């Protein structure tokens, strides 16, 4: 968590001593987004399955983000090691979701809770 906070603050506080005036640190920004999207959510795709393994610090409240996956608009909420995922109504087939070994089909217009 210390490194995540350091990345987030690199531009805000100019922790590198004067380089912020030259422009943003795009790699630091990309790294912080990657930590949110993949590391804290455990989000990955494998085959035709969307996989979650949430590990978000509970002290930070809920992490919410939209995801576009195979034509679906998904809504992900992570709280600690639990996850809730919903999908907007559509005519697309269900999405296969796995969270810590449990596999479920997420049908358009419904939601799933893991944990």
Q: What tens digit of pLDDT does each residue of 47-58 get?
A: 999 999 999 999
| Residue 89 in tokens | 């109504």
Lowest mean pLDDT among 5-9, 37-41, 83-87, 101-105: 5-9
Domain boundaries, the chain: 1-40, 42-115
Q: Indicate the pairing of strand 49-52 with strand 95-99.
A: parallel
Across all residues in the chain, what is the average pLDDT?
A: 88
| 36 — pLDDT class (breaks 50, 70, 90) | confident
Q: Is the pLDDT of residue 14 over 80?
A: no
For the structural domain made of 42-115, what CATH number should be given? 2.60.420.10
The residue among 44, 5, 60 whose CA lies nearest residue 28 is 5
Which letter does DSSP use for residue 91 in this model?
S
Q: pLDDT: is 26 or 24 the higher one? A: 26
């Amino acid at each position: 968590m210390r490194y995540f906070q350091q990345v987030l603050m690199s531009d805000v506080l100019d922790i590198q001593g004067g380089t912020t005036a030259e422009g943003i640190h795009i790699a630091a920004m990309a790294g912080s987004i990657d930590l949110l999207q993949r590391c804290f959510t455990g989000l990955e795709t494998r085959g035709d399955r969307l996989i979650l393994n949430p590990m978000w610090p509970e002290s930070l409240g809920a992490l919410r983000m939209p995801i576009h996956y195979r034509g679906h608009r998904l809504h992900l909420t992570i709280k600690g090691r639990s996850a809730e995922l919903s999908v907007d109504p559509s005519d697309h087939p269900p999405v296969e979701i796995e969270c810590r070994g449990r596999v479920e089909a997420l049908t358009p217009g419904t939601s799933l809770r893991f944990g």
